[in-house]
């Protein structure tokens, strides 16, 4: 009755794919470049680098901070993260030898608890990897005040919150870099895809090199990474940074261009559903819903119940009625076995993260009107809770 995710594609996306097929040039080229320019313009950033996933965007952003000429990150530096996010928010931090400090989330917004964050910051804190969960931006005005006098880098994992705004500014543009995903179930879909945006030219140039084998070929002549000669032969295979190959296909760029045209109406559709959702679910006893900061782009609708038993019952009930559900992202991430590999600390208690882990789930939101389906879900909960 209510799927988790549906396609936002129509003939335009298939035509975009065909245009790349007709060009007979499939590897990263002019469509990706066009999309990067359009996406940067859309979110109001100076630069955008497209990669093959949101996870790769996080990897690229974290990696880039290790290669700046000044103030670069070093292994062992402390990075604060919310305890609830997706696995690949954390993995690049682990892979670069950073010390991960988990902080609890706010039970209402489901984002970093800013009171706890304030207490968790220490002299060792070099960065905060903030996450905008399920479409909802963090209160960056307050976050910026908290870190204003300190030498702390702010990074934003905005992979779930494309199109969200706070006082008219796009989520993903508050920190030194912001990451986005265009995986199928997200606001726009290139099926697989991700972006990093930044206003910082040096980080942009570093990412251009790291995305493509760490070579110089994609760097402009005048760049902030290295001296580049005018000899294309020499510069075709010259390596300056220990990078990756994270490039998307040109088809991803072509798809991104079409999807970006639709993004305003996709976000509007999701926000209209959210207004219905809030109206229907705000007062159902035994259920709490996510409180938005600014204008959420409502990735999905989180529901937190009073107990693990209730959540288990509701999962079964929803399954029987074909309402697709998922846990709230990765729950309290420190309860996933993989953290045994991390160098990490937990600040205080993770009470709200545990609550979400044990008692929470989310249902899908879509770009089209789902008022009828939401009404049915609300009625179902009212009769069963
Ligand atoms: C918060 C967050 N960060 C990163 C990612 C990774 O994005 P991708 O699936 O495109 O690799 C996701 C995926 O949904 C996510 O939810």
Ligand 1 centroid distance, CA of 34 (Å) = 23
The answer to whether position 4 is within a domain reads no
Assess whether the C-beta atom of 131 lies below 6 angstroms from ligand 1: yes
SS3 375: helix
Helix 371-384 and helix 308-320, axial crossing angle in degrees, nearest 10: 130
- How many angstroms separate the CA atoms of 298 and 136, rounded? 7
- How many angstroms separate the CA atoms of 122 and 128, rounded? 12
Query: What CATH number does the domain containing 332 carry?
Result: 3.90.1150.10
> Which atom of ligand 1 is least distant from the CA of 132?
1
Q: What is the pLDDT of residues 234-251, one digit of tens each?
A: 999 999 999 999 999 999
The answer to whether position 5 is within a domain reads no
> Going by CA atoms, what residue is nearest to atom 7 of ligand 1?
54
The answer to whether position 129 is within a domain reads yes
pLDDT band at 385, cuts 50/70/90?
Answer: confident
Catalytic position from the list 47, 186, 205, 347: 186
> Which atom of ligand 1 is least distant from the CA of 131?
1
Ligand 1 centroid distance, CA of 21 (Å) = 28
pLDDT in the model for residue 122: 95
Query: Residues 323, 377: contact at Cβ < 8 Å?
Result: yes
Query: Residues 325, 363: contact at Cβ < 8 Å?
Result: yes
Q: What is the pLDDT of residues 314-331, one digit of tens each?
A: 999 999 999 999 999 999
Q: Is residue 186 annotated as part of the catalytic site, yes or no?
A: yes
Residues 252 and 144 in one domain: yes
Domain boundary among 257, 290, 305: 257
> Which atom of ligand 1 is least distant from the CA of 55?
11
Ligand 1 centroid distance, CA of 120 (Å) = 25
Whether 57 has a pLDDT exceeding 90, the answer reads yes
Helix 11-23 and helix 250-281, axial crossing angle in degrees, nearest 10: 160
Number of domains, the chain: 2
Work out the mean pLDDT of the chain and round it to a whole number: 98
> Which atom of ligand 1 is least distant from the CA of 186?
14
> Which atom of ligand 1 is least distant from the CA of 182?
10
Euclidean distance between the first and the last CA atom of the chain, given in angstroms as a whole number:
20
Can you name the residues that pair with 284 across neighbouring β-strands?
none
Ligand 1 centroid distance, CA of 194 (Å) = 9
The tokens for 182 are: 């265009």
Q: What is the pLDDT of residues 288-305, one digit of tens each?
A: 999 999 999 999 999 999
- C-alpha of 93 from chain center: 15
Per cent of the chain over pLDDT 70 is 100
Query: What CATH number does the domain containing 103 carry?
Result: 3.40.640.10
The answer to whether position 188 is within a domain reads yes
pLDDT in the model for residue 194: 98
Residues 217 and 279 in one domain: no
Query: DSSP character for 248?
Result: P
Ligand 1 centroid distance, CA of 158 (Å) = 9
- Could you tell which of 86, 259, 329 is best to mutate to test the pocket of ligand 1, judged by most ligand atoms within 8 Å of the CB? 86
- How many angstroms separate the CA atoms of 352 and 106, rounded? 7
- How many angstroms separate the CA atoms of 194 and 182, rounded? 6
The answer to whether position 1 is within a domain reads no
Helix 351-359 and helix 308-320, axial crossing angle in degrees, nearest 10: 30
Range of the domain at 359: 260-384
Q: What is the pLDDT of residues 252-275, one digit of tens each?
A: 999 999 999 999 999 999 999 999
Residues 251 and 274 in one domain: no
> What integer is the mean pLDDT of 126-152?
96
Assess whether the C-beta atom of 157 lies below 6 angstroms from ligand 1: yes
Residues 202 and 96 in one domain: yes
Backbone dihedral angles phi then psi of residue 91, each to the nearest 5 degrees: -60, -45
- How many angstroms separate the CA atoms of 77 and 98, rounded? 5
Assess whether the C-beta atom of 246 lies below 6 angstroms from ligand 1: no
Residues 185 and 48 in one domain: yes
Contacts of 305 (CB under 8 A, 6+ apart): 286, 287, 311, 314, 359, 360, 385
pLDDT in the model for residue 149: 86
The answer to whether position 3 is within a domain reads no
Domain boundary among 191, 223, 257: 257
C-alpha distances out from residue 312 to 77, 219, 260, 374, Å: 40, 52, 38, 20
- Could you tell which of 5, 51, 54, 183 is best to mutate to test the pocket of ligand 1, judged by most ligand atoms within 8 Å of the CB? 54
Residues 73 and 101 in one domain: yes
Domain boundary among 257, 275, 310: 257
SS3 242: coil
Residues 281 and 224 in one domain: no
Assess whether the C-beta atom of 353 lies below 6 angstroms from ligand 1: no
Can you name the residues that pair with 47 across neighbouring β-strands?
198
Q: Give the residue from 171, 73, 86, 161 showing the smallest Cα distance to 124.
A: 73
The answer to whether position 330 is within a domain reads yes
Whether 28 has a pLDDT exceeding 90, the answer reads yes
Residues 47 and 126 in one domain: yes
Residues 235 and 318 in one domain: no
The answer to whether position 2 is within a domain reads no
Ligand 1 centroid distance, CA of 253 (Å) = 18
- How many angstroms separate the CA atoms of 97 and 342, rounded? 9
- The torsion defined by the Cα of 292, 346, 356 and 369, in degrees rounded to 10, comes to 40
Assess whether the C-beta atom of 132 lies below 6 angstroms from ligand 1: no
* pTM of the predicted protein model: 0.98
Assess whether the C-beta atom of 55 lies below 6 angstroms from ligand 1: yes
> Which atom of ligand 1 is least distant from the CA of 183?
10
Assess whether the C-beta atom of 53 lies below 6 angstroms from ligand 1: yes
Ligand 1 centroid distance, CA of 159 (Å) = 5
Residues 58 and 98 in one domain: yes
Residues 248 and 264 in one domain: no
Query: Residues 96, 108: contact at Cβ < 8 Å?
Result: no
Ligand 1 centroid distance, CA of 109 (Å) = 19
Residues 163 and 148 in one domain: yes
C-alpha distances out from residue 115 to 105, 119, 157, 292, 355, Å: 10, 7, 20, 17, 18
């Amino acid at each position: 009755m209510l799927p988790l995710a549906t396609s936002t594609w129509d003939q335009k996306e298939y035509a975009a794919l065909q245009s790349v097929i007709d060009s007979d040039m499939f590897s990263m080229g002019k469509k990706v470049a066009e999309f990067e320019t359009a996406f940067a313009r859309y979110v109001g950033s100076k630069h955008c680098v497209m990669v093959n996933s949101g996870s790769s965007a996080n990897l690229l952003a974290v990696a880039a901070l290790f290669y700046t000429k000044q103030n670069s990150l070093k292994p062992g530096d402390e990075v604060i993260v919310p305890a609830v996010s997706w696995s690949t928010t954390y993995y690049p931090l682990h892979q670069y030898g950073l010390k991960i400090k988990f902080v609890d989330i706010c039970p209402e917004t489901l984002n970093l608890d800013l009171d706890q964050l304030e207490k968790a910051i220490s002299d060792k804190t070099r960065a905060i990897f903030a996450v905008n969960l399920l479409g909802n931006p963090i209160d960056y005005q307050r976050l910026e005040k908290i870190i204003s006098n300190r030498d702390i880098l702010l990074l934003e994992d905005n992979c779930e919150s494309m199109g969200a705004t706070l006082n008219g500014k796009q989520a993903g543009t508050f920190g030194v870099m912001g990451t986005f995903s265009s995986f199928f179930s997200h606001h726009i879909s290139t099926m697989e895809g991700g972006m990093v945006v930044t206003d910082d030219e040096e980080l942009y140039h570093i990412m251009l090199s790291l995305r493509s084998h760490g070579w110089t070929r994609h760097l402009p002549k005048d760049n902030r990474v290295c001296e580049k000669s005018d000899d294309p032969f020499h510069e075709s295979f010259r390596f300056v940074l220990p990078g990756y190959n994270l490039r998307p296909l040109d088809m991803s760029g072509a798809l991104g261009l079409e999807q970006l045209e639709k993004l305003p109406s996709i976000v509007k559709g999701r926000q209209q559903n959210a207004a219905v959702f809030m109206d229907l679910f705000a007062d159902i006893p035994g259920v709490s819903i996510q409180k938005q900061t600014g204008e959420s782009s409502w990735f999905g609708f989180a529901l937190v119940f009073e107990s693990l038993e209730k959540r288990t019952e509701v999962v079964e009930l929803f399954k029987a009625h074909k309402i697709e559900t998922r846990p709230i992202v990765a729950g309290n991430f420190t309860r996933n076995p993989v953290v045994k590999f991390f160098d990490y600390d937990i600040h205080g208690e993770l009470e709200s993260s545990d609550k979400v882990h044990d008692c929470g789930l989310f249902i899908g939101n879509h770009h089209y009107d789902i008022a009828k389906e939401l009404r049915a879900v609300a009625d179902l909960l009212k009769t069963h809770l």
